[in-house]
Structure formats: C-alpha cells, structure tokens
Amino acid sequence: MSRRSLADTRRLLPYVIAAAGGFLLAYTIVFFFIFPSRLVPEELKVPNVLGLTYDDAVHKLTAAGLKAEQGESRFNVGSPKTTVLQETPAAGAPAARGSKVVLDISAGERRTEVPNVVGLAQEQAQLALEKVGLTMGDVTMHESPLPRGEVLASTPVAGTQAVLPSIVTLVVSAGPSTIVVPDLVGQPFAQAKSAIEQLGLRTAVITVDSAAAYPEGTIVSQSPAGGTSVEAGTGVSLTVAGRLP
C-alpha cells in the first residue's frame, strides 16, 4: 500500500468509527424503545390470589398481565367451593407477561349424613359411624330400663349433615338401677356368664362341684338366686358341675 493510500485510510477511520457508533446507537434505540414488548419480555410479580374465588382470581391475574389456569380441585374444611387454595408460581414470584398461573381450588366441604344408631349396641353404632367416615366420640352412660350398652341418643342427631371429619357423641344405657337376677341353673357356664354381663351384673366367685348330678360345665347353683332384685354391678356367684369348660 502506498503512503498516500495509507494516509487516506487514516483520514477516513474516524468517520468509519463514528458511522459504526451511530448505527449501534440507532439499533439500541429501536430495540429498547420502539419494540420493547416484542423483543424484551416484561417481568412481573405474581399477585396474591389465595382465598379469592376462582373468577375473582382470574380477573386479578388478567389485570396483572398473566393468564389463569384451573388446576386440582379438592375438598377442604372451612373453604367454600371454588376458593383458591394454592397458586403456582407462588405469590410474589417473578413471571413474564402473559405467562400461566395454575390455581388449585376448593371443591367445598365434604359432608355426610349422620346415620341413625339409636337402639344399636355401642359396638354396632361405632361401626355404623365409621362406615360413613365419622368418628365415635365421648360415650355417656345413663340409667335406663333398656339393655345395658344400647344407644339412647347421638349428637348430632340422625339425619344431620356433618362436615368430615366430625365426631359423634353417644348416650348409652347403663341398664336399670335394679336388675332381676336370671335363673341360671342348668345353663352352660359360658352362656350364664354372658347373660349376667349383658344385664349389667358381673361374675363373682366361681366354685367347681365335681360330685354334682349335672352335666359337666353347667350351673348347679347361684347366689343371689334367680328372681332376686339387685343393684347394677352386683356380683353373682356360680357353682359349676365337674370342671370349668
């Protein structure tokens, strides 16, 4: 290259640099100010929509430049139907304009009807309650002419719509204050013992009579005698033929 050409190049270099710089500046202005929404995603913060109805949450997210999408629906105690339970991304998280926020909503409170357990034995009542998702709570014994252990009342009463999980308390018969002792002589020991306990009495002293003229394992005598009125919880002593079964 001749000296003249080199000198001409040096004279033009500042103009080339200025032109390149001007082009770069113009490109930057266009990029950031004329087409910002197309070229640079705008970052937002996800608003808090927990506790709102789904429709209100959708409106709030749309106003913030985001899209709502329904996610899981599940039963929730204390949350009315369609209440937003969870949002993903979480409130306060950064999100690009137009991005999706998934909302899990409440399907409402799960309910069941309290079954009628009055007249059932306590154990049967418990099974009936558990079958529909309820739990048996406190059991109160109340003096009654009805058999011991029979359910007299429930709270809530039968037919009530109860939110799950819920507890049902029972009032159960303690039996009458006085009980007539049944005649047990001649009955098998196991049958006699069961009859005593079902009436609210208890088995007291058991004596074995190996010389008794009764089939082995049957009741030879009892005390108090059959037909005697006694208080609930009184012990009945039995004499059994031969040996205990």
pLDDT band at 232 (very low <50, low <70, confident <90, very high): confident
pLDDT digits (tens, 9 = 90+) for 55-79: 999 999 999 999 999 999 999 888 9
Residue pair 48/40 in contact by the 8 Å Cβ criterion:
no
Q: Does 208 score more than 90 pLDDT?
A: yes
**Rounded to 10 degrees, what is the CA torsion of 104, 106, 110, 111?**
-170
Using CA atoms, how far apart are residues 13 and 197, in angstroms rounded to an integer? 115
- Structure token digits, residue 35: 């087409």
pLDDT digits (tens, 9 = 90+) for 15-65: 556 555 555 665 556 555 555 545 445 789 999 999 999 999 999 999 999
Percent of the chain with pLDDT over 90: 67
Q: What is the pTM of this model?
A: 0.52
Cβ atoms within 10 Å, residue 122: 17
Q: Does 1 score more than 70 pLDDT?
A: no
Chain mean position to CA 201: 39
User: In degrees rounded to 5, what are phi and psi of residue 241?
Assistant: -70, 140
| Largest CA-CA distance found in the chain, in angstroms, rounded | 149
CA nearest 159: which of 150, 151, 168?
168
CA nearest 128: which of 146, 110, 116?
116
pLDDT at 37: 47
pLDDT digits (tens, 9 = 90+) for 86-129: 999 999 999 999 999 999 999 999 999 999 999 999 999 999 99
pLDDT at 94: 95
